[in-house]
Structure 1
Amino acid sequence: MMTAIAQKRSSTKTLTLTAVMIALTLILAFTPIGMIRLPLVSITIAHIPAIIAALVLGLSEGFAVALTFGLSSLFLAISAPGSILDPFFVNPLVSVLPRALIPVTAYFTYKGLCKVLKNLRQGENIAIITAAVVGNLTNTFGVYFMLYILYAQQIFEKSGKPALSLILTAISTTTLYKTIGVALIVFPIVKALKRFQRSSR
């Protein structure tokens, strides 16, 4: 009886936290807080809740949050394109698919490193930070890879510059700083939520 009650409470907490992460994703996606519009491309941190959900709640919950992010990107591309590359995000292969992969790479990186580094004192911390970095790079390189293989010619026609050159410029100007920022945000939040989970069992 007590086990059933505990499982129900755990399920309710997971569902509640997933809903919070989805709501946070929508806030970040639809406000300047999480979506900075630049002439070349929009810079976003709206994928952070998906990484956190994957590391704290699990793969399926992370996927639900990531899907929210991808669909938000698709909606914005249709309703309010703001940069040169935004119109190409009307294709779900660009706006949704790479985002759906964020929790997958983050989750398995975390689980794999936790297993490999289980005897290391800072093993879990290393796993969290690395998973955050991998999740962020999955978003960045996944999106740009799909843009290149699907729309290289159209990007050249639209911008007057080779697609590869344009994409490399976009990556080089933002990726390092954003990756560091994402890791710095994700790490303390994941640690705090994991402590909360352990204390409430």
Structure 2
Amino acid sequence: MEKNKTRDLVFTAMLVSLTVIMMFTPLGTLRLPMVSVTIAHIPAIVAAMVLGLWQGVAVAFVFGLISLFIALTTPTGVLDPFFVNPLISILPRVLIPVTTYFVYKALSGKINSKFAVGISAVVGNLTNTFAVYAMLYLLYAKPIYETTGIPAFQYILGAISVSTLIKTIIVTLIVTPLVFALKKIIKNA
């Protein structure tokens, strides 16, 4: 039992470290010709399926804290100043492993394990996207309009439609083999 706790702590720390590296380097963003795809939330999705809910929440919380830190120190995008609010930068990130974990638990053993992992990855990824944009709209619709000159709903819809499908496919293609590889490593650790 103690060995399992230590092992889970080590793997959680590794995924937190990976999150930090991804958030502070170009590794957390894939730059494609038409769109940039953020993949720094992948460790939180993986942690939820491989290690459990609370480990996933810990990794996601660090992701959110770093989002907040970056918004405070080096904002670059039009919406970045709004991420100084923890309801935008942290809360949606903490929801990623929650939805991922419960979908994975509900599907595991009922459908093919690759589909269970893939569907859970899709749900986790979409949780990140829609929770962030929903909070932006709920809290900052008027300031978004004042900043961009475009109604907030229209601006957010445009931001979602450009990259969400591509990001979801990429995240699922990365998460699925990672989950199986880590499960195998953990089982043998």
Give TM-score, length-normalised by structure 2.
Answer: 0.94
Letter in 1 for 2:65: L
Within the candidate set 127, 133, 137, 2:126 is matched to 137
1:95-148, CA deviations, whole angstroms, 9 ceiling, x for partnerless residues? 10000000000000000011433xxxxx21111000000000000000000000
Q: Which residue of 2 aligns with 1:13?
A: 7
1:1-43, CA deviations, whole angstroms, 9 ceiling, x for partnerless residues? xxxxxx2222111111100000000011111221479xxx975
CA distance in 2, matches of 1:35, 1:94: 19
Q: Which residue of 2 aligns with 1:127?
A: 116
Note the residue ranges of structure 1 that are not aligned, 5 or more in a row.
1-6, 118-122
Q: Is 1:162 aligned to 2:151, yes or no?
A: yes
Letter in 2 for 1:67: F
Question: Which secondary structure does the structure 2 equivalent of 1:116 belong to?
Answer: coil
Question: Which secondary structure does the structure 2 equivalent of 1:94 belong to?
Answer: helix
CA contact (8 A) 1:42 1:83 kept: no
CA distance in 2, matches of 1:35, 1:180: 14
CA contact (8 A) 1:29 1:44 kept: no
Deviation at 1:196, TM superposition (A): 2.1
- Please identify runs of 4+ aligned residues in structure 1 that moved more than 3 A: none
CA distance in 1, matches of 2:73, 2:38: 17
Q: Is 1:45 aligned to 2:39, yes or no?
A: yes
Question: Residues 1-201 of structure 1: matches in 2 within 5 Å?
Answer: 7-35=1-29, 43-117=37-111, 123-200=112-189
Higher radius of gyration, 1 or 2: 1
CA contact (8 A) 1:42 1:86 kept: no
1:82-102, CA deviations, whole angstroms, 9 ceiling, x for partnerless residues? 000000000000010000000
CA contact (8 A) 1:113 1:127 kept: yes
**Larger relative CO (CA 8 A, sep 6+): 1 or 2?**
2
Deviation at 1:45, TM superposition (A): 1.1
Deviation at 1:197, TM superposition (A): 2.7
Question: Which secondary structure does the structure 1 equivalent of 2:108 belong to?
Answer: helix
Letter in 2 for 1:171: I
Letter in 1 for 2:154: S
